[in-house]
Homo-oligomer: A and B are copies of this chain.
Amino acid sequence: MSPPLRIGLAGLGTVGAGVVRLLEANAALVASRAGRAIAVSAVSARDRSRERGVDLAAFAWEDDAGRLATRADVDVVVELVGGADGPALTLARETLSAGRPLVTANKAMLAHHGLELASLSDETGASLRFEAAVAGGIPVIKGLREGAAANHLASVHGILNGTCNYILTRMAAEGLEFADVLEDAQRLGFAEADPSFDIDGIDAAHKLAILASLAFGARPDFPAVAVEGIRGVALVDIREAARLGHEIRLVGRAQRLGDALAQSVTPCLVPRPHPLAAVVGPLNAVVAEGDFVGRLTFTGRGAGAGPTASAVVADLIAIARGEAGPAFSMPAAQLAALPPAPAAARSGRFYIRLQVLDRPGVLADLTASLRDAGVSIESLVQPAPNPDGTALVVMVTHESAEPSVRGAVAAMARLEAVAGAPLLMPILPLEE
């Protein structure tokens, strides 16, 4: 058997400790699958004294993670520091520049600097792998990069943030409002103390930018992702969606539209028979539509120490086996700079919910706004008014250009009788 593959591990949070635990617990299995042992030789983290539930005594300690890039007893660097820039990016650049393979779970860094790092990897021949960056333990990077490699993909959709999915599905199951579930999720550890990265859709957008790059052979382009989180989704929306046969999910969605790429993360109405509607709790799922393979769905746990460590070690096994294809499935120089799809190219059916003052003429004003924008209405529901003199209006549009619908909703929001911000959500088609 070949000599062990020696790991320099930067970052000893939940995932880092999980990687140490997995490599210990499943050492023999990992060695048979990798063709050689995989062993940590050096680690680095901010605080050496913190209790992590794993024994670090056998590993060399570096206060400066950057030194892992050049230590003589390290073959591969595992970067679990996090953050798009700063020490993580420095370590990634130094590792790949030194011709040393890098495994990372850092979606923010890849979404922002993926092209640079992939180019560096191509230049030096050092493998860059990041299965753990998207959808935790689900081998979806491998699934797109290799499994579906022979296909032109029409679209990729995903539930990419477990916190949002946990909140939305608990709201639905227990009839609770967003704020109450969020508070409980924070107490239970399903949401961060500062949850904005998750619930405002940024985390899902990082992951989507990576998936879109792999799926379409395009440069990762995070700034082009249209992002909207789930703060605006109320229990009433979940109930109205259910009445329409839909679930509400935060969906990351990338589609090739002609020569352009449409990327968005937004709460959507998902029809019940769509595979993403069945994804509940903290699970993640990715649906890809290929020209030969048809629809592929990958589902599993999108976060947590175990699943993420499983993905990190899968990458290490591939490196140990000498399998080192290009980071984004083709050489960085061949990745297309696809322009973002113009808003006018995006169309679909939409759900619009407004709170209005319950007085005559309001519906006429609302429907006039849609008519003026050239948007036709598939259904309109106005349940009984609330005791406070407001009423709810829920509309579903026919297939319409997104800018027209947005224009109509903006016009409605300016009406004196409309109270609070309207909520606009795309309705996912069953197939696309």
* Partner-B contacts on A (CB < 8 A): 18, 22, 25-26, 29-30, 32-35, 131, 137-139, 142-143, 146-152, 217, 275, 278, 290-301, 304, 306-307, 309-311, 313-314, 316-318, 321-323, 325-326, 329-331, 334
Chain B's closest residue to A305 (CB) is: B292
Task: Please state if B299 and A151 are interface contacts (CB–CB under 8 Å).
Answer: no
Task: Please state if A26 and B152 are interface contacts (CB–CB under 8 Å).
Answer: yes
Chain B's closest residue to A38 (CB) is: B150
Find chain B residues with CB under 8 A from A314 CB. Answer: 146-150
Find chain B residues with CB under 8 A from A146 CB. Answer: 139, 142, 314, 317-318
Chain B's closest residue to A138 (CB) is: B296
Chain B's closest residue to A325 (CB) is: B321
Find chain B residues with CB under 8 A from A275 CB. Answer: 278, 299
Find chain B residues with CB under 8 A from A290 CB. Answer: 137, 310
| Copies of this chain | 2
Q: A142-B139, A330-B33 are in contact. Are A150 and B300 (CB under 8 A)?
A: no
Q: Which of B25, B143, B292 sits near A307, CB closer than 8 Å?
A: B292
Find chain B residues with CB under 8 A from A330 CB. Answer: 32-33
Task: Please state if A217 and B29 are interface contacts (CB–CB under 8 Å).
Answer: yes
Task: Please state if A29 and B139 are interface contacts (CB–CB under 8 Å).
Answer: no
Give Cα A75 to B9, complex, Å: 40
Chain B's closest residue to A21 (CB) is: B292
Task: Please state if B33 and A149 are interface contacts (CB–CB under 8 Å).
Answer: yes
Task: Please state if A26 and B292 are interface contacts (CB–CB under 8 Å).
Answer: yes
Give Cα A306 to B292, complex, Å: 4
Task: Please state if A22 and B292 are interface contacts (CB–CB under 8 Å).
Answer: yes
Task: Please state if B293 and A300 are interface contacts (CB–CB under 8 Å).
Answer: yes
Q: How far is the CB of A19 from chain B (nearest CB, A)?
A: 9
Interface of A is mostly: mixed
Find chain B residues with CB under 8 A from A326 CB. Answer: 35
Task: Please state if A301 and B310 are interface contacts (CB–CB under 8 Å).
Answer: no
Task: Please state if B151 and A310 are interface contacts (CB–CB under 8 Å).
Answer: yes
Find chain B residues with CB under 8 A from A294 CB. Answer: 137, 300-301, 304, 306-307
Give Cα A25 to B291, complex, Å: 10
Find chain B residues with CB under 8 A from A309 CB. Answer: 150, 292
Q: List 6 A-B contacts (CB under 8 A).
A: A22-B150, A29-B150, A33-B325, A33-B329, A296-B298, A297-B300
Q: How far is the CB of A362 from chain B (nearest CB, A)?
A: 41
Q: How far is the CB of A257 from chain B (nearest CB, A)?
A: 18
Task: Please state if A296 and B292 are interface contacts (CB–CB under 8 Å).
Answer: no
Give Cα A337 to B123, complex, Å: 45
Give Cα A11 to B313, complex, Å: 38
Give Cα A313 to B151, complex, Å: 9
Other A-B contacts than A35-B326, A292-B310, A292-B313, 4 sampled, CB-CB below 8 A, are A142-B147, A143-B147, A299-B299, A323-B325
Find chain B residues with CB under 8 A from A278 CB. Answer: 275, 278
Find chain B residues with CB under 8 A from A148 CB. Answer: 139, 310, 314
Task: Please state if B217 and A32 are interface contacts (CB–CB under 8 Å).
Answer: yes
Chain B's closest residue to A290 (CB) is: B310
Give Cα A173 to B148, complex, Å: 31
Task: Please state if A293 and B147 are interface contacts (CB–CB under 8 Å).
Answer: no
Find chain B residues with CB under 8 A from A331 CB. Answer: 32, 35
Find chain B residues with CB under 8 A from A34 CB. Answer: 149
Q: How far is the CB of A419 from chain B (nearest CB, A)?
A: 39
Chain B's closest residue to A299 (CB) is: B297
Task: Please state if B310 and A300 are interface contacts (CB–CB under 8 Å).
Answer: no
Task: Please state if A18 and B292 are interface contacts (CB–CB under 8 Å).
Answer: yes
Task: Please state if B26 and A291 are interface contacts (CB–CB under 8 Å).
Answer: yes
Give Cα A233 to B211, complex, Å: 42
Q: How far is the CB of A141 from chain B (nearest CB, A)?
A: 9
Chain B's closest residue to A312 (CB) is: B150
Q: How far is the CB of A137 from chain B (nearest CB, A)?
A: 4
Task: Please state if B151 and A26 are interface contacts (CB–CB under 8 Å).
Answer: yes
Find chain B residues with CB under 8 A from A301 CB. Answer: 293-295
Find chain B residues with CB under 8 A from A297 CB. Answer: 297-300
